[in-house]
Structure 1
Amino acid sequence: MMNNYKSSGNYSHRPLLRRLGLIGGLSWHSTLEYYIYLNQTINDHFGNNTNPPLVLVNLDQYTMHQLQQSDHWDVITEMLIEACDQLYQGGATAAMFCANTPHKVYHDVQAHSRIPILHIGDATGAAIRKKSLRKVGLIGTIFTMEEPFIAKILKDHYDIEVIVPDKKEDRKKLHMIIQKELSLGILKPETKKYILDQVAILATKGAEGIILGCTEFPLIVGQDDIKIPLFNTTMLHAQMGVDFILGI
């Protein structure tokens, strides 16, 4: 499948751009942020309304949450493998999970995917390294905070130590906020305050920066709310997608 238009008829020459596949719906609110960033940044790069070639597979978040809660990660893996295959069939030459939590099964999915999957941990680690930070706080779903699929790649590939909220009840509450509020587009002032309180506690424990390790968190908090560097995984991952599209 061609990714560019040749000079003919009424078409002017267009640059050859790589076709990127997005696995979205996890949630659609944050998928929209990816879509906006990818299109706007490519527009800005060319100084016109050139849009990137994208393919989207929109998964059912309700089903995904039910599978997570029942610990059926094998089924989630199969769903993501199938989604990658659909993207490949649609002409994509790389894929992205538009969320942090699916990276729990990244290696199993990548092993069966015919196209590379751009890892959100690499996008995040590279940004933290640029700031020369060695210890960062991480908030996300309970899977992202309690399992090593993000922290390990940061430690092994970028020599960055990751800390998370100490209390189980705080990790559970952050998880609930993501699934019951933010993924539904519910943004409460008291929720924002709770998240910022958790960030402040991590800062007192030595965090030099904070990873928003769920793509829904940037919907409610931003750098203006936090004094230490904030790493918005949605935007960092989306920029990684831009670089792929442009062949940077």
Structure 2
Amino acid sequence: MRKLGLIGGMSWVSTRSYYDHINRLVQRRAEPLASAPLIIDSLDFRRLHGLHEAQDWARAAQVLGESARHLEAAGATAIVIGANSMHKVYDEVAAQVDIPIIHIAECVGKRMQRDGATNAALIGTRNVMTENFYRQHLVAHGVDLTPPDMANVEILDRIIYDELMLGKATRDAERALKTMISRKEQDGVEAIVLACTELELVVDVDANVLPIFDSTRIHCEAAVDWIMGGD
């Protein structure tokens, strides 16, 4: 199996999910006692929280780039960034290493195209929902995305940053997400892209009113494909 590098800590909750999903998939594909060959660089999220201005994101690109270089030097043959929002600086980070970085939104777009999903709502943090860096990858794979509902953006940012990233999964948050998704279904949306790694804590990915494309699971599946020798 090939060694994978994971840039984590954004948040630690997300990193825990990546570690769990990747190892369970490796175990399933290899044998019961198998575990994934991983190098994890868990960053201090305080250095990467509240990014607004261009200089903030330039600093984030430096922090993630340094992490990527460390992982490459430690023997990683490919890298995943364990956060949707940080893919805003994907190009700048990828330019700093000579090994591939597996793009989360590209993986989701390919999966949706394979499954014939052409109409969806994107649910995640503010920059993922409102900016083009993530949406363009899904649109390029034939997915028509509904415009972001700014009321939902405010609700989601509060739930994600004030609760989920602290490891808190409340019934109120579960109800809020269930209502949000149900309303999307009533509006004619055909699928949901769960584009925040922590949201699986309060969304039933496997049993919902709409098909859920969970970016974390899809990204982890692509990571395990690499580990097991795929392209």
For normalisation by structure 2, the TM-score amounts to 0.94
CA distance in 2, matches of 1:214, 1:59: 18
CA distance in 2, matches of 1:124, 1:225: 19
Q: Secondary structure at the match of 1:177?
A: helix
Q: CA deviation at 1:186?
A: 1.0
Pairing 1:165-244 to 2, within 5 Å after superposition: 165-166=148-149, 168-244=150-226
Q: Secondary structure at the match of 1:65?
A: coil
Give the corresponding residue for 2:143.
Answer: 160
Give the corresponding residue for 1:5.
Answer: none
Q: Secondary structure at the match of 1:112?
A: coil
Q: Bigger shift: 38-47 or 199-208?
A: 199-208
CA distance in 2, matches of 1:30, 1:82: 20
Give the corresponding residue for 2:27.
Answer: 43
Percent of residue pairs bearing the same amino acid type: 33
Indicate which of 76, 79, 89 corresponds to 1:105.
89
Aligned-residue Cα RMSD (Å) equals 1.5
Q: Point out where structure 1 has 5 or more consecutive residues left out of the alignment.
A: 1-16
CA distance in 2, matches of 1:141, 1:164: 14
Residues 9 and 44, structure 2, Cα contact 8 Å, conserved in 1: yes
Q: CA deviation at 1:110?
A: 1.1
Residues 137 and 203, structure 1, Cα contact 8 Å, conserved in 2: no
Q: Secondary structure at the match of 1:104?
A: helix
Q: Secondary structure at the match of 1:26?
A: coil
Q: CA deviation at 1:202?
A: 2.1
CA distance in 1, matches of 2:63, 2:124: 22
* Alignment partner of 1:151 is 2:135: yes
**Moved >6 Å (runs of 4+):** none
Residues 130 and 148, structure 2, Cα contact 8 Å, conserved in 1: no
Which amino acid is 2:209 matched to? K
* Alignment partner of 1:21 is 2:31: no
Q: CA deviation at 1:83?
A: 0.5
CA distance in 1, matches of 2:147, 2:198: 17
Q: Point out where structure 2 has 5 or more consecutive residues left out of the alignment.
A: none
Give the corresponding residue for 2:42.
Answer: 58
Give the corresponding residue for 1:9.
Answer: none
Give the corresponding residue for 2:79.
Answer: 95
CA distance in 2, matches of 1:240, 1:196: 28
Residues 101 and 141, structure 1, Cα contact 8 Å, conserved in 2: yes
**Count of residues paired in the alignment:** 229
Which amino acid is 1:49 matched to? L
* Alignment partner of 1:246 is 2:228: yes
Give the corresponding residue for 1:121.
Answer: 105
Residues 24 and 58, structure 1, Cα contact 8 Å, conserved in 2: yes
Q: CA deviation at 1:74?
A: 0.4
Give the corresponding residue for 1:78.
Answer: 62
CA distance in 1, matches of 2:167, 2:14: 10
CA distance in 2, matches of 1:120, 1:182: 20
Per-residue CA deviation, residues 25-82 of structure 1 (Å, 9 max, x unaligned), is 111112111111111211221223122211111011122113x145510000000100
Structure 1's 181 and 69: CA in aligned 2 closer, same or farther, altered over 3 A?
farther
Q: Larger Cα Rg: Structure 1 or Structure 2?
A: 1
CA distance in 2, matches of 1:225, 1:39: 23
CA distance in 2, matches of 1:195, 1:52: 32
CA distance in 2, matches of 1:160, 1:52: 32
CA distance in 2, matches of 1:61, 1:229: 31
Structure 1's 164 and 224: CA in aligned 2 closer, same or farther, altered over 3 A?
farther
Q: CA deviation at 1:164?
A: 4.5
CA distance in 1, matches of 2:126, 2:217: 21
For normalisation by structure 1, the TM-score amounts to 0.88
